């Protein structure tokens, strides 16, 4: 009789050989058996990230009893509690390190095999090959299939679970305190504050950490113990048997609602939330050169995070009031000035309002209607570089009088006779 080990070994090697001939086979296979230790291939060929061959080699070296940290004579309850201990320590939602992921997968697989008396017996008799055949050969989806729990949770929760039972919620909690919400405040400022900056005081309402319990939500003097139901992880594990193998699923611990703690008495002042609505005056320092629609961030003036978590930020959305005298585009300011037709012809000095007062400009003789004059450096400061200022552009409007006095009329008639103008449209030189 041929050794069953030899046949199994052949079964394991055969699909590996096939996988080189049929590259499309391998990605499917490697997708199922994701090896946490595999490194991305730098080869230009579509080689599988983890070949089934290396996978099965790894399986041969596995020791399921060692993976669970138990002896060969361990009974069912010992196996179960050993697995729970491993899950608590190495579950991807508890421990994000790559090493923990590997350890958890190993423990998971070991538990799969050892928790079932018949597969355990086969494993005891034939080793890994006695239980790893179907999956390793790629021919079936029975016992021994390796499951990447991280992927399963991601697909269950869409990678964005928000509730305490969601995978990302768990991860966030494990990583540290949750940051509070950001807040928005709409602030209207004057045109000149936008140009030159300034300080504004606003009154906001936000959540602050409760003073009585210092944000913990626990009544001072009351004790907090680790939840005995979930052992402090906040989750309860359950094994679901499906045709694709055994899936570990987790649920929010019903005893502690995912907090991992049991509290004797909650803080009465904040109803155990650890947070209080507070009204507060916040000084906003507005830098020179801001514009309508700009946002300013005031760090840590948003809502405080739950359980002493850091505060979110306060965002000030700026609305800039208009100024009838000016138009502004970034650092450039635009305005108009009106001169008489005589000043336009003969030239004149006119006073022009600018953002920081008034300047006198020379309108040169022969200035045309809508001619634009530039006043250098009298625009708005550049945001982030207040020393640098834009320019002010003045459009010269020429006032043509609708009514003139008799004296003016005769003078203008005289001018016409001199040939300086005329309704014929011909100029002096064209005569």
Binding residues vs Zn ion (CB under 5 A):
210, 212-213, 227, 229-230, 253, 255-256, 267, 269-270
**Minimal distance, residue 190 CB to Zn ion, in Å:** 41
Nearer to Zn ion, 190 or 255 (CB): 255
What Rg do the C-alpha atoms of the chain give, in angstroms? 40
| d(C-alpha 314, C-alpha 329), whole Å | 27
Q: What is the biggest distance separating any 2 CA atoms in the chain, rounded to whole angstroms?
A: 134
Nearer to Zn ion, 4 or 164 (CB): 164
| d(C-alpha 424, C-alpha 50), whole Å | 92
**Minimal distance, residue 252 CB to Zn ion, in Å:** 8
In angstroms, the first-to-last Cα distance of the chain is: 127
Nearer to Zn ion, 82 or 270 (CB): 270
Nearer to Zn ion, 129 or 263 (CB): 263
**Minimal distance, residue 275 CB to Zn ion, in Å:** 8
**Minimal distance, residue 325 CB to Zn ion, in Å:** 54
**Minimal distance, residue 54 CB to Zn ion, in Å:** 39
| d(C-alpha 405, C-alpha 155), whole Å | 87
Is 65 within 8 Å of 110 (Cβ atoms)? Answer: yes
Nearer to Zn ion, 230 or 298 (CB): 230
Residues 33, 142, 168, CA angle at the centre, nearest 5°? Answer: 50
Nearer to Zn ion, 204 or 213 (CB): 213
**Minimal distance, residue 172 CB to Zn ion, in Å:** 17
Nearer to Zn ion, 79 or 227 (CB): 227
Non-local (6+) Cβ contacts of 325 within 8 A are 335, 353
Nearer to Zn ion, 131 or 210 (CB): 210
Dihedral (CA of 276, 278, 283, 289) sign:
positive
| d(C-alpha 67, C-alpha 107), whole Å | 5
| d(C-alpha 292, C-alpha 50), whole Å | 55
Comparing CA positions, the residue from 73, 57, 77 lying closest to residue 65 is: 73
Tokens encoding 37: 């230790």
| d(C-alpha 431, C-alpha 412), whole Å | 19
| d(C-alpha 29, C-alpha 145), whole Å | 11
| d(C-alpha 173, C-alpha 96), whole Å | 12
Is 388 within 8 Å of 381 (Cβ atoms)? Answer: yes
Q: What is the DSSP letter of 312?
A: -
Residue 324 gets the label, from left (phi > 0), alpha (psi -120 to 50) or beta, of alpha
Q: Cα-Cα-Cα-Cα dihedral of 194, 199, 203, 209, to 10°?
A: 120
Is 350 within 8 Å of 399 (Cβ atoms)? Answer: no
Nearer to Zn ion, 70 or 213 (CB): 213
**Minimal distance, residue 234 CB to Zn ion, in Å:** 6
Q: Where are the alpha helices (DSSP H) in 248-405?
A: 341-346
**Minimal distance, residue 162 CB to Zn ion, in Å:** 19
Nearer to Zn ion, 189 or 275 (CB): 275
**Minimal distance, residue 107 CB to Zn ion, in Å:** 21
**Minimal distance, residue 248 CB to Zn ion, in Å:** 17
């Amino acid at each position: 009789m041929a050794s069953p080990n030899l046949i199994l070994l052949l079964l394991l090697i055969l699909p590996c050989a096939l996988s080189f001939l049929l590259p499309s086979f391998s990605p499917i296979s490697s997708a199922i058996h994701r090896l946490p230790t595999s490194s991305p291939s730098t080869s230009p060929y579509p080689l599988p990230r983890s070949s089934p061959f290396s996978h099965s080699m790894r399986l041969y070296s596995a020791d399921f009893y060692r993976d669970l940290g138990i002896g060969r004579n361990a009974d069912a309850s010992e196996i179960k509690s050993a697995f729970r201990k491993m899950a608590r320590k190495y579950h991807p939602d508890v421990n994000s390190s790559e090493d923990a992921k590997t350890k958890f997968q190993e423990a998971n697989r070991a538990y799969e095999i050892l928790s079932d008396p018949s597969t355990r017996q086969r494993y005891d008799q034939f080793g890994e090959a006695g239980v790893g055949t179907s999956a390793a050969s790629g021919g079936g989806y029975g016992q021994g299939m390796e499951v990447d729990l991280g992927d399963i949770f991601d697909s269950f929760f869409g990678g964005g679970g928000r509730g305490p039972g969601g995978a990302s919620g768990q991860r966030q909690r494990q990583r540290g305190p949750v940051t509070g919400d950001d807040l928005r405040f709409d602030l209207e400022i004057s045109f000149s504050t936008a140009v030159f900056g300034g300080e504004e005081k606003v009154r906001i309402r936000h959540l602050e950490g409760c003073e009585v319990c210092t944000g913990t939500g626990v009544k001072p003097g009351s004790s907090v113990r680790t939840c005995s139901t979930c052992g402090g992880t906040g989750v309860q594990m359950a094994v679901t048997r499906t045709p694709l193998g055994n899936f570990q699923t987790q649920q929010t611990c019903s005893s502690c609602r995912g907090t991992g703690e049991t509290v004797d008495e909650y803080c009465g002042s904040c109803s155990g939330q650890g947070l209080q609505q507070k009204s507060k005056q916040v000084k906003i320092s507005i830098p020179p050169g801001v514009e309508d629609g700009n946002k300013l961030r005031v760090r840590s003036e948003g809502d405080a995070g739950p359980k002493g978590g850091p505060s979110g930020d306060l965002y000030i959305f700026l609305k800039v009031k208009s100024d009838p005298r000016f138009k502004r585009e970034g650092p450039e300011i635009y305005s108009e000035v009106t001169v008489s037709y005589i000043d336009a012809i003969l030239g004149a000095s006119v006073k022009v309002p600018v953002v920081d007062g008034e300047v006198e400009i020379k309108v040169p003789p022969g200035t045309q209607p809508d001619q634009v004059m530039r006043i250098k450096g009298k625009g708005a400061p550049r945001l982030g570089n207040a020393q640098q200022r834009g320019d002010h552009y003045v459009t010269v409007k020429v006032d043509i009088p609708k009514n003139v006095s008799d004296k003016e009329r005769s003078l203008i008639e005289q001018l016409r006779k001199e040939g300086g103008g005329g309704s014929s449209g011909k100029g002096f030189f064209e005569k």
